[in-house]
Structure 1
Amino acid sequence: MENNARNLSKSFRILNMTHRKYFERAIEKFGIHRGQHHILMVLSDKKGFATQKEIADCLHITAATVAVAIKKLEKTGYIKKIQDEEDLRYNKISLTDKGIDIVAQSRRTFETIDSSLFADFTDDEKRQMDNYLTRMTNNINKAQENKDI
């Protein structure tokens, strides 16, 4: 049983690395890396506006890390800062038209990758896979909470 679990875990890691590799290769053409892409997606999910702190909280990273990425994304024209009218100490980060276009293109890229990934799976198999992955996530979170790992 232990060997089987180890093999399954290894297969999961290989799948994750392969998926990440293909996605990173796809977004290379936009001149951004994965972390910057995550910020663009958060902004899109928040209807195009968020503070640096909101982005950091969503991604579970530090505000300083977000600040570095925002500078690069601003320099490349994907985002812009807008001073908050209610509190001048804060800037709202907003997608530019160029940023909106990148988000749309990357969503299409995800759809293509996902379509390839699940090409020969039935809807029932996909539901079953979702159930397994959810259980795995819950198991590892529970182990973390119990300090087992």
Structure 2
Amino acid sequence: MSQEARNLPDQFRHCSNLMRRMYHQSGPMNTRHGQGKLMHYLLALDGATQKDLAKEMRMYPASLADVVRQAECNGFVTVAPNADDSRSTGVFLTDEGRAIAEKRAAANDRVAEEIFADFTDEERMQLEGLLAKLSDSLEKKATQEDDEDRRCNHRSRRSRRYDGHRKCGGRRMRKNDQFVSRG
């Protein structure tokens, strides 16, 4: 492996950290713990169900429910029944939440322009293509490894469950023998 190839992941991580820092320093700081991301998605999907938002945002539904609850307490969103289906509820931006989300979006656009100001249009297109190729490759590998891990964990859980019922060399213990101290 060449020195350049060895440094490539480090350079990528360093650039990612610097970009995150620039975005963090630029936007309004009155949102925390995923609320900004929630409001960003609600700008386009206002009134979406929590299930749809969780899928779109790639979050666990329970985690999203916590974020929605916090944003609702802060007055950024409201949860109300959908007009289409009375059994489901939608998440809607409040006026205050919409104003903050639009400020954040404008700040993010400004920072993106600052970050890529030194690139020509051709260089931006090349970088977009390379990052898309990298994303596709990583997603394929991540989903393959997730499936393999799930299968391995499932087998081990099943074997642990089976072993828990079989004690003393494979024969089932009587109830009276289960709680004997080994003193």
TM-score category (smaller protein): 0.7 to 0.9
Structure 1 length as normaliser, TM-score?
Answer: 0.86
* Number of positions where the alignment pairs a residue of Structure 1 with one of Structure 2: 147
Once the two structures are aligned, what percentage of the paired residues are identical?
A: 25
Instruction: Answer whether contact 2:43 2:98 (CA < 8 A) is retained.
Output: yes
TM-superposed deviation, 1:28: 5.0
| 2:86 paired with 1:92 | no
- Distance in 1 separating the partners of 2:37 and 2:109: 16
Task: Choose which of 119, 127, 139 in structure 1 pairs with 2:137.
Answer: 139
In structure 2, what residue type is equivalent to 1:132? L
CA contact (8 A) 1:24 1:33 kept: no
Structure 2 counterparts to residues 87-126 of structure 1, below 5 A: 87-126=85-124
Alignment of 1:9-48 (within 5 A): 9-29=9-29, 31-33=30-32, 35-46=34-45, 48=46
Distance 2:25 2:33 in 1: 10
Against the structure 1 CA distance between its residues 27 and 33, is the aligned structure 2 distance closer, same or farther, given a 3 Å change threshold? farther
Between 31-40 and 58-67, report the one with greater CA deviation.
Answer: 31-40
How far residue 17 of structure 1 moved from its aligned partner, in angstroms, is 1.5
Aligned 1:50-89 pairs, distance under 5 A: 50-89=48-87
1:7 — aligned with what? 7
Does the 8 Å contact 1:77/1:98 carry over to 2?
yes
How far off is 1:88 after superposition?
Answer: 3.7
SS of alignment partner, residue 120 of structure 1: coil
The root-mean-square deviation of aligned C-alpha atoms, in Å, is 2.2
Contact 1:84 1:91 in 2 (8 A): yes
Unaligned runs of 5+ in 1: none
Whether the 8 Å CA contact 1:24–1:34 is kept in 2: the answer is: no
CA deviation map 1:2-37 (0-9, x unaligned): 5322311111111111222222233452x2125211
Q: TM-score, structure 2 length as denominator? A: 0.72
Greater CA deviation, 19-28 or 117-126? 19-28
State the structure with more CA Rg.
2
